[in-house]
A = this chain, B = another copy of it.
Amino acid sequence: MYVTIPSEFDVEARDSALPLCPCNLTETRLRGGAYLYYEGDEVDRLYQVKSGVLRLTRLLEDGRRQVIAFGYPGDIVGFPSNGRHHTDCEALTNARLQPYRRTTLENGGSHPQLHHDLLQAALREISAMQDHFMMLGRKSAVEKVSSFLCVLKDRVGKPQGQYAQVKLPMSRADIADFLGLTTETVSRTFTQLRKSKVIALENIHTVIILRPDALLALAQGDNAAQRAQAA
């Protein structure tokens, strides 16, 4: 999952559910905290998340970390480059995964439909990552955090009374490393959104979206919304 602003051109083709799966392999299960693969590992399988949440990370020698993506249900993780994984992948919660052979992606073979679908998933991945560039390069802390919550609301928000509830299985540090911020800034931004009644925190890992419209405005850098909120 990347933080993408659904563009006008995608409205048609939103993959709301999980397609794929004329399955050749049986489901993989992973416990929260377990690693699915490490950077440098030879790629044997790709996986589509069926339930649970994964976290893909890369490290710099000096310890700086970037969370590349979170893997939510429907997402496909493990695309190879030169046959290898280029991130670490950890399960943040218990997770169920549908594996696909790397050869199905790369050669197709006996599964032309699946081959095609995996390729399309890779292409959508490229486009989604481009959106994420915009976020990392050009958005403020408030915009980043608000965008993040908006995307999660749309993808995995659950109705909770008249509001939407979003569970955050990842730590503040994970969110920070995903958005290019520090944990302190993420924490402060949550506080700020909470104080301005845009969200509420049911507990540390559960957010209630009180004013989705305001959150969206903040996500898109609406300056009026920023000022109203500061007051």
Residues of chain B within 8 A (CB-CB) of A55 are none
**Majority secondary structure, A binding face:** mixed
Q: Cβ of A180: which chain B residues have Cβ within 8 Å of it?
A: 136-138
Q: Which residues of B contact A7 (CB under 8 A)?
A: 39, 86
Copies in the complex: 2
Residues of A within 8 Å of B, CB-based: how many? 51
The list of the 8 closest CB pairs from A to B, nearest first, reads A137-B180, A81-B127, A136-B136, A13-B82, A66-B134, A86-B127, A129-B129, A64-B138
Known contacts A82-B10, A126-B125; decide if A138 and B66 are in contact (CB<8 Å): yes
Q: What 0/1 readout, one digit per residue, does chain A (134-173) give for beta carbons within 8 Å of chain B?
A: 1011100000000000000000000000000000000000
Task: Kindly state whether residue A231 has any CB partner on chain B within 8 Å.
Answer: no
Q: A9-B40, A86-B130 are in contact. List 11 more A-B contacts (CB 8 A).
A: A60-B134, A65-B138, A66-B134, A68-B130, A68-B133, A79-B126, A81-B123, A81-B128, A82-B124, A108-B108, A133-B133
